[in-house]
Structure 1
Amino acid sequence: MQKIRTALLSYGMSGKVFHAPFISFHPGFELIGSWERSKKLIREDYPSVKSYFAIEALLEDDVDLVIVNTPVETHYEYAKKVLLAGKHAIVEKAFTTTVAEAMELAALAKERGVKLAVFQNRRWDSDFKTVQKIISDKVLGEIVEAEFHFDRYNPLLSPKQHKETANSGAGILKDLGPHLIDQALCLFGLPQAVFADIRITREHSLVDDYIDILLYYPDFRVRLKAGFFVREANPAYVIHGKKGSFLKPRGDVQEDDLKLGRKPNLEDWGTEPKSKEGLLHTEFQTNMLLENVTTLKGNYYYFFDEVYNSIFNDQPEPVTAQDGVHVMQIIEAAIHSNAQKKVINL
């Protein structure tokens, strides 16, 4: 199998947890190294790879694919350099800080004939895969409303300075928001309009840490919420249809397993505990059905598998640059809605 020579633009948490384990596990990729500005850590985990002193050195090397996993406010600058160097790119969420930046990167990738994917790994979470199947199977009937949560209880500010300093990429809207927005668009497509309430709730915080976004579709509504003061978690997914409801707690185990150093595989990886099963209450063939639903397995491996097919078999990227543009359109609309206290039409 021909390998995609892959490099990272940082080896912090995202590089160590979400990227390097899958790149090193997938037979179609070869981990070449990472740009490391101060701490030199990647060779502790992967002794044979390179630690680049500058992005220019990385881009001049024999690298096919670059993962832009730096702070959000740098995504546009670094992704543009990668594309101009003729390399394929995966860009972390949030894709960029503005719609204009996202559209420019999408056009540049097309012009240069390279692949550009957005790393929306939560599409391959076990809980979302299960919700996706419930909706595609139409067991709830016509959808009336849906509510997605990414809740945490953490009143303390992050030790990562770029997350708490007021800048164009900081705040929960561009941190957890892209996960929720991308999942909603993946299931339902673009809405007609957006209304948003964006707030600061933590003491001494300089960036938004609470979002409540309402997406308007012709016949139903989707609400997306995230915040840091939810000690008792709501269901992560609540979907109500004209025949029934499905409630699912957040239960994907991949991030926790990866942080513990566990290695991905294709057998039992991403298997949720039974205690996290979703509850389905619906009408099925004139009978009422009330049961727990076995959760599908999650696996971020398949994102990289589709990236491989995209590059070598000219298939669409698993999450396209246009998908990234659409997420940024919702984010910009949410910002305008919050500022103007009104519904923003798309």
Structure 2
Amino acid sequence: MAGQVFHAPLITSVQGLRLHKVYARRPEQQAILQEKYSDTIISTVVDDIINDPEIDLVVIATANAVHFSLTRQALLAGKHVVVEKPFTNTVAEADELIALAKEQNRILSVFHSARWHSDYLTVKEVLNSGELGRLVTLEIRYDRFRNYLRPNAWREDDLPGSGIFFDLGAHLIDQSLQLFGKPQSIFAYLRKMREGVGAVDDFEAILLYPNLKVSLKGSMLIKEPTPRYALYGTEGAFVKQGVDPQEVALKEGKTPRNTENWGQEPETIWGILNTTNEGPNARRIVPSEKGNYPAYYENIRDVINGTAELIVKPEQARDVIQLLVLGEQSSQEKRIIDLS
């Protein structure tokens, strides 16, 4: 899904990148490639991609269990690498890949695309405006409703890196780290709620900063929509419903190339800012920023060409893995983990 929905449409929408070869072993995958990307070579052997001298950049959009091994193999072959989040399943694996990328003088980045979500970009603007005063509480939710298990879905099996905490929680933790840096401590409560599920399908992680509590939540059993973001400060609040529209658009077959106003939210889900300011603007609707997934690959292109600094650094993705691992430990031991 990651390759079909996210990476291939985005790569082919960015000038200066060419989708050269894709690993596809199932007939239905090959049929999609032939239909949508007729100029792309279909490969059934991973080594054909990693060792292809025409390829500069290898994108790892696979099950989490092989992120480390394939990324390591690609770096050793002299390729730049983009790997899906979560970066790895352990901090030690992340550290090894970071060191190897430096040794090979190759670019290594993790696809933390939620930094370019419309809602997150809007939250950044609201915080930068200062209208909330001193922020005291931030709540972010990433909910879905699926009360059944998908057959042959590795994300729902009891495997390292499976479950929605590593999947959706990685986005929320990365956003929190970008906004506030590393927390002082973390407390997490992870659950398996659906009958027969092997992996975590409900989580709450609380990141504690000086005078700030960040609550990150996700669940597979939330039928009624909840606020995506809720920010509470000494001078007011900002509450945002709805989700960034880019993933839905990509699943519908739209791309940034052929879609007008890409990443623009409908006005019905714009957020509400309510502050202590006097006058008619004390409580008002805030137009959302446009989401911009292509910006991630535009940055990768520019870094490879030597004209930009890498935005999503592997060290930042490593910090996400650290908090995911400590969150698991916190839930198992039922205690707050001090990061110091």
- Which bracket does the TM-score occupy, shorter chain normalised? over 0.9
Whole-angstrom distance in 1 between the partners of 2:11 and 2:197: 36
Whole-angstrom distance in 1 between the partners of 2:102 and 2:278: 48
Could you say what secondary structure the match of 1:303 adopts?
A: helix
Task: Indicate which of 202, 206, 210 corresponds to 1:214.
Answer: 206
Asked if 1:248 corresponds to 2:240, the answer is yes
Higher alpha-carbon deviation: 266-275 or 244-253:
266-275
Whole-angstrom distance in 2 between the partners of 1:54 and 1:308: 25
1:310 matched to which residue of 2? 303
Identity among equivalent pairs (%): 37
Task: Indicate which of 237, 245, 265 corresponds to 1:272.
Answer: 265
Gaps of 5+ in 2: none
> Taking structure 1 as reference, are residues 109 and 148 closer, same or farther at Cα in structure 2, changes over 3 Å only?
same
Whole-angstrom distance in 1 between the partners of 2:13 and 2:230: 34
Q: How far did 1:260 drift? A: 1.0
Asked if 1:43 corresponds to 2:43, the answer is no
Could you say what secondary structure the match of 2:282 adopts?
A: strand
Gaps of 5+ in 1: 1-12
Q: How far did 1:315 drift? A: 3.1
2:290 matched to which residue of 1? 297
Whole-angstrom distance in 2 between the partners of 1:287 and 1:333: 45
Asked if 1:29 corresponds to 2:22, the answer is no
1:140 matched to which residue of 2? 132
TM-score by length of 2: 0.95
Could you say what secondary structure the match of 1:203 adopts?
A: coil
Could you say what secondary structure the match of 1:239 adopts?
A: strand
> Taking structure 1 as reference, are residues 285 and 111 closer, same or farther at Cα in structure 2, changes over 3 Å only?
farther
Whole-angstrom distance in 2 between the partners of 1:107 and 1:138: 39
> Taking structure 1 as reference, are residues 160 and 280 closer, same or farther at Cα in structure 2, changes over 3 Å only?
farther
Whole-angstrom distance in 1 between the partners of 2:12 and 2:277: 45
Asked if 1:344 corresponds to 2:337, the answer is yes
* Aligned Cα root-mean-square deviation (Å): 1.5
Q: How far did 1:267 drift? A: 5.0
Contact 1:196 1:211 in 2 (8 A): yes
Could you say what secondary structure the match of 2:151 adopts?
A: coil
1:20 matched to which residue of 2? 8
Whole-angstrom distance in 2 between the partners of 1:262 and 1:324: 28
**Letter paired with 2:74:** V
Contact 1:71 1:169 in 2 (8 A): no
Task: Indicate which of 327, 331, 338 corresponds to 1:334.
Answer: 327
Could you say what secondary structure the match of 2:12 adopts?
A: helix
Whole-angstrom distance in 2 between the partners of 1:164 and 1:222: 26
- Aligned 1:50-65 pairs, distance under 5 A: 50-61=41-52, 62-65=54-57
TM-score by length of 1: 0.93
Contact 1:63 1:87 in 2 (8 A): yes
1:119 matched to which residue of 2? 111
2:274 matched to which residue of 1? 281
- Aligned 1:145-164 pairs, distance under 5 A: 145-164=137-156
Task: Indicate which of 218, 226, 229 corresponds to 1:234.
Answer: 226
Q: How far did 1:56 drift? A: 1.0
